[in-house]
Amino acid sequence: MTSQDSFNGHSLFLDTSYGITLGLLDREYRWLEFEVLEGQKSSEIIHDKINIFLEKHQVDIQSIDIFVLSGPGSYTGLRVSQGIAQIFELNGAKVYSFDIFKVGIILSEHIEAGMKWIFPAFKSELYIRDVTQDEGELVDESAELLDKYITHGSNKFDALSKLNSRQLIKDYAPRVFSEVKNRSLRDEIFYFRTLDKEFSK
């Protein structure tokens, strides 16, 4: 393989917010691989899956960009993809990270007006945020849900929601990833609470 061949412009997508979504994209941000893995511990299989993708498509790991979804989602799950991204970054890879609300901004024309994000926030709470707003709120999970919702991945609100942003990322990958790269996004993890509130009794 020549040096020109090794610089192939591939990108790896990691999402461990709810379950595992992995993808490999070509230089035009078209999917070569897109796989959703539910009910499996990400730490046990994610390395093998990445290796399978790279070997199958003969991708040089030194030449890829990494895109990581930075939340919201499971606290433990988010740490997995962020940890992998940091390892890639230490070895010279370019890492981009973005929270799911950026997808709502980038693909706003595909999201119906008045929709609200909804996510399980654990601790008997849920997180709701208007798509057009910069902040949301934690409410009791017994709250009445009467709006039109969008969520991400397979979680308890998937069936209730009219849209799932995992599907939007899959369907509009070139738009999403090119925009994230153009903006050089490196968002920090978005979690529902500060650590002192998360781990308080």
Q: Count CB neighbours of 82 within 10 A.
A: 20
Q: Count CB neighbours of 4 within 10 A.
A: 7
Closest to 176 (Cα-Cα) out of 59, 81, 34: 34
pLDDT tens profile 88-133 = 888 888 999 999 999 999 999 999 999 999 999 999 999 999 999 9
pTM for the structure as a whole = 0.91
Confidence of residue 2 (pLDDT cuts 50, 70, 90): very low
Domain hosting residue 110, numbered range: 104-164
pLDDT tens profile 25-81 = 999 999 999 999 876 666 678 889 999 999 999 998 888 999 999 999 988 889 999
Helix (H, G, I), strand (E, B) or coil at 13: strand
pLDDT tens profile 147-180 = 999 999 999 999 999 999 999 999 999 999 999 9
The domain total for the chain is 2
- 24 and 79 share one domain: yes
Tell me how far apart the alpha carbons of residues 57 and 142 are, in angstroms, rounded to a whole number: 47
- 85 and 16 share one domain: yes
- 15 and 114 share one domain: no
Helix (H, G, I), strand (E, B) or coil at 36: strand
Residue 100's contacts (CB-CB under 8 Å, 6 or more residues apart) are: 17, 69, 71, 72, 117, 152, 165, 190
